Chains A and B, each alone.
Chain A
């Protein structure tokens, strides 16, 4: 019998469990292969929806569904906390005392925010003047604070990289601008974006486009700001090098870490609890029969649902190969694809991988589009809204998305010209 254990029933874990069930359908129904998924609760949150909750454009009950209903009925779901993984003996210990033995383990427990790691962040003022929106509680609490906000200094801040959905804080700033315009009080609100990066984003061409958008919307950009402490009562965000940004309302993206049990599991993770993972094969460093996918890994790709989806197409093949005794395929290229809401019913779209940064162009069908890369358009915004249906009905059940393969395509992308004529790269068409 082959026992496959998947830790985490979020985006990556659910997709993998359903793909494995399909791949081994006959073995699973005959009981020769078991697929067991472990999660601590039964609430699957559609995470891209969290961004819209603070602005009242989405309701909590619209973005949460039971985890069990997203998994095929032949997949077992165990609701328990994970205590540790012992890769040397091929077993996972759960908090209740249950021990799960495995032949193949897939770690898909994502990432969590760790606001307590920043001095003062969860002290006085937490969830009164200092908020996150990466949790459902945080996003709901922030909605109330925004409704009560009648003017002053709003600061959006990223504590450290990596974070989940690296464009989300920028989207928040863009949507906040639109929200205050709509309420007729934009002239009474100062919006500041403070980031540890040296520009609005990591990759140069996109960073330039996004910095330009911030400027257009009157949002002040503060760069190389490494958050040292937060004073929620005094309304001060301070950096390690003694710079201060005053705020009336702080929306922060706290430090991200892997699930807590990763650090308790010998050899599994790095010092933030992200699983040491081969960026091409998705095999974990700790043992050949352990794999990792999604936000839980330490690979240098975006922590985003699209990445988990693209990885799943590579990982399902590598698990098949592993169980068949074949060599793994080093096929993951870091493909990531992401909508960026810019407010007023428009959005940008970016598509990138380990080697190719986000470029302007059209997607996914070359000249036809219909979506535009790295430029604001209404079609992109509609694409983002439609994606929620795609998420529950195509992505989680583990189906491929037509016309969008796991490996990034250069079709429709405008490659950067030689350095001499580079400035034209972003010129509007």
Chain B
């Protein structure tokens, strides 16, 4: 774990830039991370996914999978891949300021 300065705030992040303390997140931080990963600007459906991701994590302690996002976030899986190319669940988690979803081998 290390400290990074994002949108002028000192933030605890892991080696891949995922926030370790979701409470440090702000909308400005989301915008800054999104820009860093090449998503600019964040549109209404982006925010819809990010908020769903974050709320679900804060309620249950787990990040929803791509399948849950596609079924329950109100944005279809196909659209998710357009909004967050390559890895919607991973990117939305990072922008939404929650720890990286469980790794698996």
Q: Are B104 and A202 in contact (CB under 8 A)?
A: yes
Proximity string of chain A (197-216) to chain B, C-beta cutoff 8 Å, 1 when within and 0 when not: 00000110000000000000
B105 and A272 contacting across the interface, CB-CB below 8 Å: no
Which residues from A are CB-within-8-Å of B82? Answer: 241
The yes or no answer to A379 lying at the interface (CB within 8 A) is: no
Q: A162 near B104 (CB under 8 angstroms)? A: yes
Residues of B within 8 A of A301 (CB): 105
Q: Which residue in A241, A272, A300 is a CB contact (below 8 Å) of B65?
A: A272
Contact B81 A117 (CB under 8 A): no
B105 touches A162 (CB 8 A): yes
Chain B minimum-CB-distance residue to A203: B105
Q: Which residues of B contact A59 (CB under 8 A)?
A: none
Choose one: A226, A300, A352; the contact of B81 (CB below 8 Å): A226
In the complex, residue of chain A having the shortest beta-carbon distance to the beta carbon of B82: A241
Looking at chain A, what size class is its interface with the partner chain?
20 to 34
Whole-angstrom CA separation of A160 from B87 in the bound complex: 12
With a CB–CB cut-off of 8 A, which chain A residues contact B68?
A: 271
Task: Write out the residue numbers on chain A whose beta carbons fall within 8 Å of the beta carbon of B67.
Answer: 117, 255, 271-272
**Contact present for B104 and A240 (CB under 8 Å):** no
**B41-72 interface mask toward A, CB cutoff 8 Å, 1 = contact, 0 = none?**
00000000000000000000010111110000
Q: Tell me, in angstroms, the Cα distance from A77 to B1 when the chains sit together.
A: 48
| Set of chain A residues within 8 Å of B20, measured between Cβ atoms | none
Report A268-290 CB contacts with B as 1/0, cut-off 8 Å: 00111000100000000000000
Query: Shortest beta-carbon distance, A287 to chain B, in Å?
Result: 16
Chain B residue at smallest Cβ distance from A299: B102
Bound CA span A224–B90, Å: 13
Query: Which interface class (under 10, 10 to 19, 20 to 34, 35 or more) fits B?
Result: 10 to 19
Q: Given A224-B86, A271-B68, are A240 and B78 neighbors across the interface (CB < 8 Å)?
A: yes
Query: Is residue B74 contacting chain A, with contact meaning CB distance below 8 A?
Result: no
Instruction: Given A240-B81, A241-B86, verify A270-B105 contact (CB < 8 Å).
Output: no
Query: Is B104 a contact of A241 with CB atoms below 8 Å?
Result: no
By a CB distance below 8 angstroms, the chain B residues around A161 are 104-105
How long is the Cα–Cα vector from A224 to B87 in the complex, in angstroms? Answer: 9
Contact residue among A117, A162, A203, A271 (Cβ-Cβ distance under 8 Å from B64):
A271
A302 within 8 A of B: yes
How close is A247's CB to chain B, nearest CB, in angstroms? 21
Chain A stretch 12-41: residues in CB contact (< 8 A) with chain B:
none
CB contacts under 8 Å to B, within A241-272, are: 241, 255, 270-272
Q: Which of B62, B80, B102, B104 has the most CB of A within 10 A?
A: B104
Would A302 and B65 count as touching, CB distance under 8 A?
no
Which chain B residue has the least Cβ–Cβ distance from A166?
B105
| A318 within 8 Å of B (CB atoms) | no
Give Cα A301–Cα B62 distance, bound, in whole angstroms. Answer: 17
Set of chain A residues within 8 Å of B81, measured between Cβ atoms: 226, 228, 240-241
| Docked-complex contact A298 and B85, CB < 8 angstroms | no
Q: Which residues of B contact A228 (CB under 8 A)?
A: 77-78, 81
Q: Judging by beta carbons under 8 Å apart, are A300 and B103 in contact?
A: yes
Q: How far is the CB of A271 from chain B (nearest CB, A)?
A: 5
Taking the closest CB of chain A, its distance from the CB of B77, in whole angstroms, is 6
Residues of chain B within 8 A (CB-CB) of A202 are: 103-105
Shortest distance between the CB of B92 and any CB in chain A (Å): 14
Tell me the A residues contacting B by CB distance below 8 Å.
117, 160-162, 166, 202-203, 224, 226, 228, 240-241, 255, 270-272, 276, 298, 300-302, 336, 352
* Given A161-B104, A270-B62, 14 extra CB contacts under 8 A: A161-B105, A202-B105, A224-B86, A226-B86, A228-B78, A240-B78, A240-B81, A241-B86, A255-B67, A270-B65, A276-B62, A298-B102, A300-B102, A300-B103
